[in-house]
Amino acid sequence: MKETILKSLLKIEEDFNVKILYAVESGSRAWEFPSKDSDYDVRFIYVHKQNDYLTIDQMGIGKK
């Protein structure tokens, strides 16, 4: 499952043009009480590329 999660995080980086700085497992699995049908919860901290922070347009709206 770790490989699947890592691939998903890489895809998020590519799709949204961000860099994931830190990712951590959360939810019932992190607390060591998952049920048989528990999913995998991952939270992460990310940053956009520098140019995205230096624009006057809201990201995803309009053109830079």
End-to-end CA distance of the chain: 39
CA distance 22 to 25: 10
Looking at residue 37, what is its pLDDT? 76
Q: pTM for the full model? A: 0.70
- Contact (Cβ atoms closer than 8 angstroms) between residue 20 and residue 46: yes
DSSP helix/strand/coil, 44: strand
CA 44 to centroid of chain Cα atoms: 5
Mean pLDDT by 10 residues, the chain (64 residues): 92 94 84 75 92 72 60
